[in-house]
Structure 1
C-alpha cells in the first residue's frame, strides 16, 4: 500500500512538473507572434496591465494551492478528512472574497496606476492614459475567479491527485494564448482598430483562460466528488480545529512561498513605476521610453527565462530530497544534494546566458523581426547574464525553505528589492535602459550573496566543493564563446543580414556550434557525466 502511494505521488509530481513546464514554454513562445502584431509599445502597454494584476493575484492567493495541498495532505494522513474539507469550504468563500477585493482595488485604482506609470510630462508619443486604464481594468476581471480556483487545485493536490491541476494549467494557458493572439489579430489586421483596444482586449485573455481552467476543475470535481465524500464519511478522527487555527497554519505554509515567488514580478513592478520618468530624464521621449520598457520587461526577458526555466525545473526537483535530509539530520547527504543542485544550475545557465549574450542580435532579429533591433539586441546582450542570477536565487531560496529557514529567503529578497529601488531611477536616468538592467543585476547579486551565506551557515556547507566544477564550466564557456563569436562575425559576412532569414541562419549555426563545442568539452573531460549522469560515458576520453 505504501509503495503504491509513493508511486502515485511520484507519478503525480512528474505530471504536474511536466504541465508546469509546458505552460511556461507556451507562455514564453506566444510573445514572439504577439510582438509582431503589437510591437514593443504594445508590449509595454500589456505589461502596464499585467504586472499589477500579477502582483495582486499573488497577494490574493498567497501561495494557496501549495499551502492547502500541504495542509490537506497532513490531516488526510492523520485519517482526518473532515478538517481538510472544512478548510476547503471556508477557503473557497475566503479566497473568492479576497479575489473580489483585489479586483475592486485594481479596477478602481486603474486611473491612479496609469498616472504613476506614464511620464509626468504628458508626452503624447507614448500610450494614452485611457488606454492604460482600459488595459488594467480588462485584466482585473480575472481576479474574480482565479483565487477561488486556486483553492480547488490545492484541495485536489492534498489528495495526491495532480491530474486536475496539471490539465487545468495547460488548458488555461492554451485558452489564454489563443484568445490573446486571435483578439490582437482581429482588432488590428481585420478591423484596423487601435493598438490600445487590441492590447486591452488581449489582456482579457487572463479571464478567458481562468474560466476554461475552472470548467476543467469542475469536471474533475464532478467525477471525484463521490469518492472524496466517502473518504470523509469514513474518517476516524476530527481535530475540531477552529477556523482561526487553520488559517494560522495555512499562513505559515503560504507566506514565504508566496513572497519569494514574487521576486521577478516585484523587480519588474519597480521598473514599471520608475522607468518612463527616468527615461525622460535620460532624454528619451515617451515612445522611445515605452519601446525600451517593452524590450526590457517583456521581449528580452522572455528569452532569458528559457534557460532559467529549464535549469530550475531540473534543480528544484532535488529540493524535496534536501528537505528530507535536513529533517533526518543527514548532513553528508544534504551537502551532496546541494552540490548537485548548484552543478546543474551552473552547467546549463552559464553557457546558455553567455551564448545568448553573444548571439543577441541574430536572436532578437530572428524572433522579433528587424524593427527595434538596435535597442533590442543591446539590452539582450547585457541582460542575458541575469539568467544565471535568476536561477541561483530561485534554488537558494528553495534550499532555505527546505531547511525551514524561509525568513532568510524573504530577507534576501528584501535586500535585493531595496537596492533595486534605490538605484533604479538614477541608473536609468544616467544610462537609459541599461541602467535598469544594471540595477536588476546588482539587486539580485546582493540577494544571492545573502542567500548563499545563509545556506552555508545553516547547512554547514562549504562552497569550495563546487569550485573545481564551476571553474571548468567557466573555462568551457569561454572556449564556446570564442567559437560562437567567430560564427556570428563570419555569418554576418557570408549571409545577407538585410532581412530576417540571414539572422535566422546565423542563429542556428551559432547555437549548434556553441552546443557542440561546450558538450564535447564537458563530455570528454567527464564533467557532463559528473553533473547529469553517465549518459555520455561512452564518449569520454580514455
Structure 2
C-alpha cells in the first residue's frame, strides 16, 4: 500500500511539477528576448531575497503540516490535524504580512549588498529596489497557499496541489510576458520597469493558485469535517503541544528547503565583487543572469521528479516509520534512489554534452560564449540537487531533521569559503565548482545518515548505479559523435541549426539510454513490469 500511495502521489505531482517546471523554463526564452540577460540578472536580484523571506515566513510549515497530518491520520486521529490546519492559516497570514513588511522596507538596505558599486553595474539601485518591492507583495498570500497544500498532501490528496501549481504558473507567466511586452514595446518603458512588473506576477499567479485551492477546500469541506469528528484520542491534543511538535519538524524543513536559494544567494552577493577584482566586472551581471536564471531554469526541469518525490516522501515515509514497518521503509528508500538516479544521470550527462546547441536554441547566439560554457559546467548539478532533495526528505521522514540541517550547513560553509577564492583562481566557473563541492559534502552526510539510522544497505543501489553510469557514458559518446557529424552540415552559426543539433542529439541520446536500459531489464526493475522485455 505504501508503494502504491507513493507512486500514485508521485505520478500526479511529477506530471504537475514537470509541467510547471517546463512552463517556468519556456517563458524565460521570450522574456530574455524582451529584457536580455541583464534583465534576467535584475529579476534574480528580486527573486533570491524573496525566496528566502518566503521560506522564513512559512517556517517549513506546509511540508511539516503534511508530515504531522499524515502521522495522526495513520493513528486514526483526524481531528488533531484539522485543528492544526485551521490555526495554521491564521499563523501563515500573520507571518506572511511580517515578511512582506520586512522585505518591502529592507529593499534599500539589501540592494548595496547585491551590487556593492552602483556605477559598476548596468542596473541602478532604483531598479533593484523597485524589483524587490514588487515581488514582496506575493508574501501576503503564498504562505497561506502553502499551508492549504500541506494539509491536502498530509491527507494523501495530491490533486489540489498539482492543479493549483499548474494554474498558478500559467497565470504568473502570462502576466510576466504581457507586462514585459507592453512596457518594452508598446509604452517604450525601460528594463527596470518591465522586470519590476514581471516580478509582480508572483502575486497575480498566487491569487490564481489560491483560488483553485479554495475551490477544493469548499468541495471537500463536508468530508473533511466528517473525518475531523472521528476522534480516537481520549483527550484532544492542546494547540501548544501541536505547535511544539510541528515546530520541531518545521524549522529543519524550512532551513533544508532553502538549500538552493542559499547557494544562489552566496553567488548573488559575491560574483559582482569577485569578477570586478579580476577585471571581468563588465560581464558579471550577464553571468548572474545566465547562472541564476537561464542555465538554472534548464537544470530544474530534470529535477521535477526529485521535487515531487520530496513532497510525497515525507508524509509517506513518516507513515511507514510511525507504523514501525522496516520492510516498507527499505522498499520506499530503494525505489526512491533508483528513480532519481535513473532519470537524473542521463539528464546531467545530456546537458553537459549538448550545452552549446541547447543554450543557442533557447536563448540565441548572442550570449553563447558565456551561456554555453556555463551550462556545460552547471548542467550536471541537476543530479546533485536531486540527490540532496530526496536524501534530506528521507531524513526528515525518519525524524532526523537536525542531520539534514548539519549537512546543509556544512555544504554552505564550503560554498561560502571557496566561492570568491575559486572565482579569483579560475574565473566565473569557480562559483559553479564551489557549488559542486558544497553539495557533495552535504549529500555525503545525508547518505551516511540514512545508512546509519535506517540500516539501509546501499549495495544494490551501487550495483545499479554502475549500470546507469555505464549507459550514460555510452549515451554521451553517441551524442558527441552524432553532434560532431551533424555540425559538418549544420554548423552552430544559426539558431535553426541549433534546433537541429540539440533536437537530434537529445533524441539520439534518449534512444540509446532507453534501449540499453530495456535490453538489460534495468527499465523493468526501476519503472515496473510495463517495461518488461519479452523473453
Same fold (TM over 0.5): yes
The answer to whether the 8 A contact 2:306-2:389 is kept is no
Counterpart position of 1:206: 202
Counterpart position of 2:249: 253
* 1:25 paired to 2:22: yes
Change (3 A) 1:166 1:276: same
Counterpart position of 2:275: 279
Q: How does 1:194-233 map to 2 (within 5 A)?
A: 194-225=190-221, 228-229=224-225
- Cα deviation for residue 283 of structure 1 reads 1.1
Q: How does 1:257-268 map to 2 (within 5 A)?
A: 257-268=253-264
Q: Distance in 2 between matches of 1:396 and 1:102?
A: 29
Change (3 A) 1:350 1:79: closer
The answer to whether the 8 A contact 2:138-2:202 is kept is yes
1:146 to 129, 142, 145: 142
1:435 to 409, 430, 438: 430
* 1:97 paired to 2:107: no
2:288 to 269, 272, 293: 293
Deviation per CA, 1:47-97: give whole Å up to 9, x if none: 110111111111111222233344445556777666545434432222211
* 1:425 paired to 2:426: no
- Cα deviation for residue 142 of structure 1 reads 0.9
Q: Distance in 2 between matches of 1:389 and 1:251?
A: 28
Q: Distance in 2 between matches of 1:78 and 1:308?
A: 33
2:462 to 467, 483, 488: 467
1:503 to 473, 482, 498: 498
Counterpart position of 2:32: 35
* 1:400 paired to 2:400: no
- Cα deviation for residue 43 of structure 1 reads 0.8
Change (3 A) 1:532 1:320: farther
Q: CA RMSD in A?
A: 2.9
1:184 to 180, 187, 190: 180
Counterpart position of 2:161: 165
Deviation per CA, 1:216-267: give whole Å up to 9, x if none: 3333444444555566567686745443222112212322222222111111
Change (3 A) 1:513 1:14: closer
Deviation per CA, 1:319-341: give whole Å up to 9, x if none: 76655555565556544543443
Q: How does 1:38-49 map to 2 (within 5 A)?
A: 38-49=35-46
Deviation per CA, 1:108-163: give whole Å up to 9, x if none: 11011111001x33334411100000000000011112223333334445555544
Q: Distance in 1 between matches of 2:488 and 2:35?
A: 32
Q: Distance in 1 between matches of 2:10 and 2:353?
A: 36
Deviation per CA, 1:243-300: give whole Å up to 9, x if none: 3222112212322222222111111111111111111112112x41010011111111
User: Which structure 1 segments of 5+ residues have no match?
Assistant: none
Q: Distance in 2 between matches of 1:328 and 1:242?
A: 23
The answer to whether the 8 A contact 1:344-1:532 is kept is yes
Indicate the larger mover: 270-279 or 19-28: 19-28
* Count of aligned pairs between the two proteins: 535
Structure-2-length-normalised TM-score: 0.91
- Cα deviation for residue 311 of structure 1 reads 5.4
Indicate the larger mover: 67-76 or 372-381: 67-76
Q: How does 1:64-75 map to 2 (within 5 A)?
A: 64-72=61-69
* 1:521 paired to 2:516: yes
User: Which structure 2 segments of 5+ residues have no match?
Assistant: none
The answer to whether the 8 A contact 2:121-2:285 is kept is no
- Cα deviation for residue 312 of structure 1 reads 5.7
Q: Distance in 2 between matches of 1:335 and 1:88?
A: 31
Counterpart position of 1:62: 59
Change (3 A) 1:90 1:280: same
| SS of residue matched to 1:307 | coil
Q: Distance in 1 between matches of 2:120 and 2:404?
A: 42
Q: Distance in 1 between matches of 2:310 and 2:108?
A: 42
Change (3 A) 1:276 1:504: same
* 1:374 paired to 2:369: yes
Change (3 A) 1:64 1:443: same
The answer to whether the 8 A contact 1:456-1:462 is kept is yes
Structure-1-length-normalised TM-score: 0.90
Q: Distance in 2 between matches of 1:531 and 1:77?
A: 28
Change (3 A) 1:89 1:405: closer
| SS of residue matched to 1:148 | helix
Counterpart position of 1:133: 129
Q: Distance in 2 between matches of 1:14 and 1:465?
A: 24
The answer to whether the 8 A contact 2:67-2:315 is kept is no
* 1:52 paired to 2:58: no
The answer to whether the 8 A contact 1:260-1:413 is kept is yes
Counterpart position of 2:346: 351
The answer to whether the 8 A contact 1:315-1:341 is kept is no
Q: Which has the higher contact order (CA 8 A, sep 6+)?
A: 2
Q: Distance in 2 between matches of 1:406 and 1:507?
A: 41
Q: Distance in 2 between matches of 1:353 and 1:77?
A: 38
